């Protein structure tokens, strides 16, 4: 079994797939709207501070555990201590739950791609969005279609499916993003949008903003559900994991920043509100696209961009439980993918319907979709990261110096792994539970 494990064809393949995992809805959908809701530039300043200091610690830790054990989540935790397997199992479980709401948004994106191709005329974008996500059959069809596309790539395997999809979609994503940024910067009054992003008003700083930035940073880097652990386990040998980690963080941040620079100048240029929340990308932007020359083309490019980002992340989310099923149950990849297709559909369909027919089903006051989002992003992701940091820092006693080859950053890593990151994560979980 051991030597039949797949591995990346090259270091480039590992880096591009991991960037593909990191850059997703978190960067292009969530980051701009969370920044918009939290005062723009001041949020960005805090976010950059967090992502450039403590975030490399859990990222490096998760990749390192995957790379050194060369196992999927349960196996990796068990090889640390046979009693820890159940904690490892929380990772693929989180993956299944995240996938189940991620694919719903993926389905919405497909609808907007269709709509851009058909040049469909809409008068009220807010109303259109709400009525579209309420249509039971159509929205479920789109959810399943998106899931099928992601499962298809995963089923083709690590090299032929996951790597191939990322090698094609990630460069496409970068090119489209640059094209759209240039386009946005040429709009009248683009500078007001840039000011919103880059001129901080520190009087708006508060603890909620701090924890939102922290949550966003961990979500966007894909830490906390074993996706990185699994991807790390496919690296043949990487003597310089740290360099890869910095490349991943830098690229992820660049994509998020560019997404902001693409969105905010357009928002301000058309006198729209930057704080419209989750609807920013699905309501505000389409409204803007309808008012600019060649808007359909731009809209098409934008939703293809969002689609590419979402697919490469969703693949990484699915690969974690997929690897666990393959290696724990000793079944083929195709079988594991079929099982996952059914399990995720079973949760994703009620999540899709929770915007319409099932909107009255509430769990602790939240719809099914919101519960999945809340439970995973606010509780399970930080909790899994907290557990792995504590295991590495206190039980395995991993030494930063051995990973980083530098006394000062090694020491910072040790303190971060044992104290700073766990405290920050405990704060996040506490805020989530309040």
Q: Which residues bind ligand PHE (CB under 6 A)?
A: 21-22, 24-27, 98, 219-220, 222, 225, 227, 313, 316-317
Q: Which is nearer to ligand PHE, 147 or 404 (CB)?
A: 147
CA dist 132 to 111, 117, 205, Å? 9, 17, 37
Q: Which is nearer to ligand PHE, 215 or 400 (CB)?
A: 215
CB of 330 to ligand PHE, least distance (A): 25
CB of 216 to ligand PHE, least distance (A): 9
CB of 117 to ligand PHE, least distance (A): 24
Q: Which is nearer to ligand PHE, 219 or 302 (CB)?
A: 219
Q: Which is nearer to ligand PHE, 313 or 352 (CB)?
A: 313
Task: Tokens for 241, please give them.
Answer: 């994991």
Q: Which is nearer to ligand PHE, 184 or 220 (CB)?
A: 220
Task: Tokens for 75, please give them.
Answer: 């196996």
CB of 382 to ligand PHE, least distance (A): 11
The terminus-to-terminus CA distance of the chain in angstroms comes to: 45
Residue with the shortest CB distance to ligand PHE: 26
Task: Tokens for 119, please give them.
Answer: 């040049």
CB of 50 to ligand PHE, least distance (A): 15
Q: Which is nearer to ligand PHE, 26 or 422 (CB)?
A: 26
Cβ atoms of residues 255 and 177 within 8 Å: yes
- DSSP conformation letters of 320-369: HHHHHHHHHHT--HHHHHHHHHHHHHHHHHHHHHTTTTTTT--BTTB-HH
Cβ atoms of residues 99 and 352 within 8 Å: no
Q: How far does Cα 91 stand from its chain's mean position? A: 15
Residue-level length of the chain: 434
Cβ atoms of residues 36 and 192 within 8 Å: no
CB of 277 to ligand PHE, least distance (A): 17
| 186: three-class secondary structure by DSSP | coil
């Amino acid at each position: 079994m051991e030597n039949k494990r797949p591995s990346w064809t090259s270091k480039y393949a590992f880096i591009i797939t991991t960037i593909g995992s990191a850059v997703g809805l978190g960067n292009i959908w969530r980051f701009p709207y969370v920044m918009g809701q939290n005062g723009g530039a001041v949020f960005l300043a805090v976010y950059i501070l967090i992502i450039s200091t403590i975030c490399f610690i859990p990222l490096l830790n998760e990749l390192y555990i995957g790379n050194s054990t060369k196992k999927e989540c349960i196996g990796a935790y068990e090889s640390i201590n046979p009693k820890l397997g159940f904690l490892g199992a929380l990772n693929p479980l989180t993956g299944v739950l995240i996938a189940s709401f991620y694919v719903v948004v993926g389905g919405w994106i497909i609808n907007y791609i269709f709509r851009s191709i058909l040049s469909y005329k809409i008068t009220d974008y807010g109303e259109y969005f709400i009525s579209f996500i309420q249509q039971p059959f159509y929205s479920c069809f789109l959810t399943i279609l998106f899931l099928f596309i992601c499962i298809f790539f995963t089923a083709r395997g690590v090299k032929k499916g996951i790597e191939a999809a990322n090698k094609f979609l990630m460069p496409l994503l970068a090119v489209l993003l640059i094209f759209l940024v240039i386009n946005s910067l040429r709009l009248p009054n683009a500078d007001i949008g840039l000011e919103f992003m880059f001129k901080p008003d520190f009087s708006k700083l508060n603890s909620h903003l701090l924890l939102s930035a922290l949550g966003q940073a961990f979500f966007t880097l894909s830490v906390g559900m074993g996706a990185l652990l699994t991807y790390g386990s496919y690296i043949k040998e990487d003597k310089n994991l740290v360099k890869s980690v910095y490349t991943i963080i830098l690229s992820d941040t660049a994509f998020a920043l560019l997404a902001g620079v693409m969105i905010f100048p357009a928002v301000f240029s058309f006198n729209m509100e930057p704080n419209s929340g989750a609807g920013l990308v699905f309501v505000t932007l389409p409204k803007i696209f309808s008012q600019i020359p060649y808007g359909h083309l731009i809209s098409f490019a934008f939703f293809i961009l969002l689609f590419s980002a979402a697919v490469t992340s969703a693949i990484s989310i699915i690969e974690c439980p997929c690897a666990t099923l393959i290696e724990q149950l000793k079944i083929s990849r195709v079988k594991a993918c079929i099982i996952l297709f059914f399990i995720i559909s079973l949760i994703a369909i009620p999540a899709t319907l929770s915007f319409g027919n099932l909107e009255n089903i509430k769990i602790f006051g939240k719809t099914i979709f919101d519960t999945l989002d809340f439970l995973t992003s606010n509780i399970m992701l930080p909790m899994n990261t907290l557990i792995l940091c504590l295991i590495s820092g206190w039980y395995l006693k991993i030494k930063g110096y051995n990973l980083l080859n530098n006394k000062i950053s090694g020491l910072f890593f040790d303190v971060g792994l044992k104290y700073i990151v766990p405290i920050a994560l405990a704060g996040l979980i506490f805020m989530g539970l309040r």
